[in-house]
Amino acid sequence: MKAKDRIIVALDVATLKEAKSLAEKLRPYVGMFKVGLQLLTAEGGPQVANAIYDVGGYTIYDGKFHDIPNTLVGAVKGLGTLSGVSMFTVHASGGEKMMHDARRNLGESVRMLAVTVLTSISQERSFLTFGASAKAKVVQFANWAKNAGAYGVVCSGQELIVLAEEEGLKDLKRVVPGIRPKWFPGKQAKTKKKDDQSRKMTPGEAIKAGADYLVIGRPITQPPEEIGSPVDAAKKIAEEIKQALEEKGDD
Protein backbone atom coordinates (compact mmCIF):
# COMPACT_ATOMS: atom_id res chain seq x y z
CA MET A 1 0.00 0.00 0.00
CA LYS A 2 1.05 3.56 -0.62
CA ALA A 3 1.21 5.78 2.46
CA LYS A 4 -2.00 7.60 1.53
CA ASP A 5 -3.91 4.31 1.21
CA ARG A 6 -3.40 3.69 4.91
CA ILE A 7 -5.45 6.78 5.78
CA ILE A 8 -9.14 6.28 6.60
CA VAL A 9 -10.92 9.61 7.00
CA ALA A 10 -13.70 9.63 9.59
CA LEU A 11 -16.56 11.63 8.08
CA ASP A 12 -18.07 12.59 11.42
CA VAL A 13 -20.24 15.34 10.00
CA ALA A 14 -23.94 16.08 10.27
CA THR A 15 -25.05 16.17 6.63
CA LEU A 16 -24.59 14.23 3.43
CA LYS A 17 -23.66 17.45 1.65
CA GLU A 18 -20.69 17.96 3.98
CA ALA A 19 -19.63 14.33 3.70
CA LYS A 20 -19.76 14.28 -0.09
CA SER A 21 -17.87 17.57 -0.36
CA LEU A 22 -15.07 16.28 1.89
CA ALA A 23 -14.94 12.93 0.09
CA GLU A 24 -14.71 14.59 -3.31
CA LYS A 25 -11.83 16.82 -2.21
CA LEU A 26 -9.92 14.16 -0.28
CA ARG A 27 -10.44 11.04 -2.42
CA PRO A 28 -7.15 11.38 -4.37
CA TYR A 29 -5.17 11.79 -1.14
CA VAL A 30 -6.54 9.08 1.18
CA GLY A 31 -7.53 5.42 1.06
CA MET A 32 -11.10 5.21 2.37
CA PHE A 33 -13.81 6.97 4.31
CA LYS A 34 -15.45 5.86 7.54
CA VAL A 35 -19.08 6.79 8.04
CA GLY A 36 -20.44 6.46 11.56
CA LEU A 37 -23.66 6.55 13.46
CA GLN A 38 -24.19 10.32 13.28
CA LEU A 39 -24.25 10.43 9.50
CA LEU A 40 -25.88 7.01 9.01
CA THR A 41 -28.76 7.96 11.29
CA ALA A 42 -29.23 11.42 9.80
CA GLU A 43 -29.02 10.49 6.13
CA GLY A 44 -29.38 6.70 5.79
CA GLY A 45 -26.76 4.10 4.94
CA PRO A 46 -27.56 3.58 1.23
CA GLN A 47 -27.68 7.32 0.54
CA VAL A 48 -24.34 7.91 2.24
CA ALA A 49 -22.57 4.96 0.60
CA ASN A 50 -23.90 5.88 -2.85
CA ALA A 51 -22.91 9.54 -2.50
CA ILE A 52 -19.34 8.69 -1.54
CA TYR A 53 -19.09 6.06 -4.27
CA ASP A 54 -20.35 8.59 -6.81
CA VAL A 55 -17.22 10.68 -6.22
CA GLY A 56 -14.96 7.62 -6.38
CA GLY A 57 -14.67 6.84 -2.68
CA TYR A 58 -14.95 3.58 -0.74
CA THR A 59 -16.62 3.32 2.63
CA ILE A 60 -16.23 1.61 5.97
CA TYR A 61 -19.76 1.25 7.33
CA ASP A 62 -19.09 1.97 10.99
CA GLY A 63 -22.38 0.75 12.43
CA LYS A 64 -20.61 -0.97 15.36
CA PHE A 65 -23.22 -3.72 15.27
CA HIS A 66 -23.85 -5.52 18.55
CA ASP A 67 -26.87 -7.77 19.10
CA ILE A 68 -27.92 -11.38 19.39
CA PRO A 69 -26.67 -13.39 16.38
CA ASN A 70 -30.01 -13.82 14.59
CA THR A 71 -30.83 -10.12 14.81
CA LEU A 72 -27.37 -9.09 13.69
CA VAL A 73 -27.45 -11.37 10.65
CA GLY A 74 -30.59 -9.63 9.45
CA ALA A 75 -29.13 -6.20 10.14
CA VAL A 76 -25.93 -6.67 8.15
CA LYS A 77 -27.31 -8.74 5.27
CA GLY A 78 -28.00 -5.68 3.12
CA LEU A 79 -24.46 -4.31 3.38
CA GLY A 80 -23.30 -6.42 0.47
CA THR A 81 -25.71 -4.60 -1.84
CA LEU A 82 -24.49 -1.08 -1.01
CA SER A 83 -22.21 0.63 -3.52
CA GLY A 84 -18.63 1.07 -2.42
CA VAL A 85 -18.94 -0.45 1.06
CA SER A 86 -15.62 -2.19 1.62
CA MET A 87 -15.79 -3.00 5.35
CA PHE A 88 -18.18 -2.87 8.30
CA THR A 89 -17.70 -2.90 12.07
CA VAL A 90 -19.09 -5.02 14.88
CA HIS A 91 -18.39 -4.89 18.60
CA ALA A 92 -16.21 -7.87 19.47
CA SER A 93 -17.74 -7.88 22.94
CA GLY A 94 -20.87 -9.31 21.30
CA GLY A 95 -19.07 -12.63 21.18
CA GLU A 96 -17.47 -15.03 18.76
CA LYS A 97 -20.74 -16.58 17.56
CA MET A 98 -22.27 -13.18 16.78
CA MET A 99 -19.25 -12.22 14.68
CA HIS A 100 -19.04 -15.63 13.01
CA ASP A 101 -22.69 -15.55 11.94
CA ALA A 102 -22.40 -12.00 10.59
CA ARG A 103 -19.25 -12.88 8.65
CA ARG A 104 -20.70 -16.13 7.28
CA ASN A 105 -23.86 -14.47 5.99
CA LEU A 106 -21.97 -11.72 4.17
CA GLY A 107 -19.39 -14.01 2.61
CA GLU A 108 -16.45 -12.24 0.98
CA SER A 109 -18.41 -9.27 -0.31
CA VAL A 110 -17.71 -6.95 2.65
CA ARG A 111 -14.85 -7.45 5.11
CA MET A 112 -15.56 -7.43 8.85
CA LEU A 113 -13.66 -5.35 11.39
CA ALA A 114 -14.06 -6.16 15.08
CA VAL A 115 -14.04 -3.18 17.43
CA THR A 116 -12.14 -4.21 20.57
CA VAL A 117 -11.95 -1.52 23.29
CA LEU A 118 -13.02 1.98 22.28
CA THR A 119 -10.23 4.55 22.31
CA SER A 120 -12.34 6.80 24.53
CA ILE A 121 -12.13 4.22 27.34
CA SER A 122 -9.37 4.86 29.85
CA GLN A 123 -7.58 2.06 31.70
CA GLU A 124 -9.62 2.77 34.81
CA ARG A 125 -12.86 2.62 32.82
CA SER A 126 -11.73 -0.62 31.15
CA PHE A 127 -11.41 -2.30 34.54
CA LEU A 128 -14.82 -0.99 35.56
CA THR A 129 -16.44 -2.10 32.29
CA PHE A 130 -14.66 -5.35 31.47
CA GLY A 131 -12.95 -6.34 34.72
CA ALA A 132 -9.55 -6.29 33.02
CA SER A 133 -7.04 -3.95 31.42
CA ALA A 134 -7.59 -2.66 27.90
CA LYS A 135 -4.61 -4.68 26.67
CA ALA A 136 -5.95 -7.94 28.10
CA LYS A 137 -9.40 -7.39 26.62
CA VAL A 138 -8.03 -6.36 23.22
CA VAL A 139 -6.08 -9.62 22.99
CA GLN A 140 -9.11 -11.66 24.03
CA PHE A 141 -11.42 -9.87 21.59
CA ALA A 142 -8.83 -10.16 18.80
CA ASN A 143 -8.68 -13.92 19.27
CA TRP A 144 -12.47 -14.12 19.08
CA ALA A 145 -12.38 -11.99 15.92
CA LYS A 146 -9.78 -14.20 14.28
CA ASN A 147 -11.78 -17.34 15.07
CA ALA A 148 -14.88 -15.67 13.60
CA GLY A 149 -13.11 -14.89 10.31
CA ALA A 150 -12.67 -11.12 10.73
CA TYR A 151 -10.43 -9.20 8.34
CA GLY A 152 -9.07 -7.08 11.13
CA VAL A 153 -9.54 -5.44 14.50
CA VAL A 154 -9.99 -1.86 15.62
CA CYS A 155 -7.80 -0.99 18.60
CA SER A 156 -5.84 1.91 20.00
CA GLY A 157 -2.19 2.34 19.12
CA GLN A 158 -1.24 1.43 22.66
CA GLU A 159 -2.35 -2.17 22.15
CA LEU A 160 -0.38 -2.73 18.93
CA ILE A 161 2.72 -4.03 20.69
CA VAL A 162 0.86 -6.66 22.68
CA LEU A 163 -1.00 -7.81 19.56
CA ALA A 164 2.30 -8.13 17.68
CA GLU A 165 3.49 -10.53 20.37
CA GLU A 166 0.58 -12.89 19.64
CA GLU A 167 1.82 -15.21 16.90
CA GLY A 168 -1.68 -16.41 16.02
CA LEU A 169 -2.94 -12.86 15.36
CA LYS A 170 -0.37 -11.70 12.82
CA ASP A 171 -2.75 -12.05 9.86
CA LEU A 172 -5.33 -9.70 11.39
CA LYS A 173 -5.20 -6.19 10.00
CA ARG A 174 -4.87 -3.50 12.66
CA VAL A 175 -7.07 -0.44 12.22
CA VAL A 176 -6.18 2.32 14.66
CA PRO A 177 -8.34 5.32 15.60
CA GLY A 178 -7.39 7.91 18.20
CA ILE A 179 -4.68 9.29 15.89
CA ARG A 180 -3.50 12.76 16.79
CA PRO A 181 -0.57 14.41 14.95
CA LYS A 182 1.68 16.51 17.16
CA TRP A 183 0.34 19.63 15.45
CA PHE A 184 -3.29 18.94 16.41
CA PRO A 185 -5.16 20.86 17.70
CA GLY A 186 -2.50 23.50 17.12
CA LYS A 187 -2.42 27.13 18.16
CA GLN A 188 -5.47 28.20 16.17
CA ALA A 189 -7.72 25.16 16.14
CA LYS A 190 -10.98 25.59 14.30
CA THR A 191 -12.76 23.42 16.86
CA LYS A 192 -13.18 24.16 20.55
CA LYS A 193 -14.50 20.69 21.35
CA LYS A 194 -12.79 18.71 24.09
CA ASP A 195 -10.85 15.75 22.72
CA ASP A 196 -12.73 12.54 23.58
CA GLN A 197 -9.82 10.21 22.85
CA SER A 198 -8.10 8.75 25.93
CA ARG A 199 -5.58 6.36 24.34
CA LYS A 200 -3.91 8.37 21.57
CA MET A 201 -0.88 8.10 19.26
CA THR A 202 0.68 10.10 16.43
CA PRO A 203 0.50 8.71 12.87
CA GLY A 204 4.21 7.90 12.81
CA GLU A 205 4.15 6.20 16.20
CA ALA A 206 1.18 4.04 15.23
CA ILE A 207 2.73 2.92 11.94
CA LYS A 208 6.02 2.02 13.62
CA ALA A 209 4.10 0.05 16.26
CA GLY A 210 2.38 -2.05 13.59
CA ALA A 211 -0.79 -0.26 12.45
CA ASP A 212 -2.02 -1.13 8.96
CA TYR A 213 -4.65 1.61 8.69
CA LEU A 214 -5.15 4.87 10.59
CA VAL A 215 -8.60 6.33 11.23
CA ILE A 216 -8.31 10.11 11.34
CA GLY A 217 -11.16 12.56 11.70
CA ARG A 218 -10.80 16.10 12.99
CA PRO A 219 -7.07 16.53 12.25
CA ILE A 220 -8.01 16.20 8.58
CA THR A 221 -11.60 17.45 8.43
CA GLN A 222 -11.02 20.36 10.83
CA PRO A 223 -7.28 21.07 10.70
CA PRO A 224 -5.67 24.03 12.51
CA GLU A 225 -5.41 27.18 10.44
CA GLU A 226 -1.63 27.00 10.36
CA ILE A 227 -1.84 23.58 8.62
CA GLY A 228 -4.23 24.74 5.90
CA SER A 229 -7.04 22.84 4.19
CA PRO A 230 -8.18 19.23 4.73
CA VAL A 231 -6.17 18.28 1.64
CA ASP A 232 -3.07 19.93 3.12
CA ALA A 233 -3.60 18.01 6.36
CA ALA A 234 -4.03 14.69 4.54
CA LYS A 235 -0.85 15.27 2.53
CA LYS A 236 1.09 16.16 5.68
CA ILE A 237 -0.09 12.99 7.44
CA ALA A 238 0.72 10.85 4.39
CA GLU A 239 4.27 12.21 4.45
CA GLU A 240 4.59 11.32 8.14
CA ILE A 241 3.34 7.79 7.38
CA LYS A 242 5.78 7.44 4.47
CA GLN A 243 8.68 8.51 6.66
CA ALA A 244 7.65 6.08 9.41
CA LEU A 245 7.43 3.22 6.92
CA GLU A 246 10.88 4.03 5.58
CA GLU A 247 12.35 4.15 9.08
CA LYS A 248 10.63 0.87 9.88
CA GLY A 249 11.92 -0.70 6.65
CA ASP A 250 8.44 -1.40 5.24
CA ASP A 251 8.49 1.05 2.34
All structural domains of the chain, each given as residue ranges with its CATH number in brackets, are 3-248 (3.20.20.70)
- Judge whether 182 counts as a catalytic residue: no
Question: Among residues 17, 25, 64, 242, which one is catalytic?
Answer: 64
Q: Which residues of the chain have pLDDT under 50?
A: 187-191, 196-198
Helix or strand (DSSP H, E) at 103: helix 96-106
| Each residue's pLDDT tens digit, 157-194 | 989 999 999 999 999 999 999 999 999 985 444 445 55
Q: Give me the pLDDT at residue 235, please.
A: 98
What was the pLDDT predicted at 199? Answer: 57
pLDDT tens, residue by residue, 105-139: 887 779 999 999 988 888 899 999 999 999 999 99
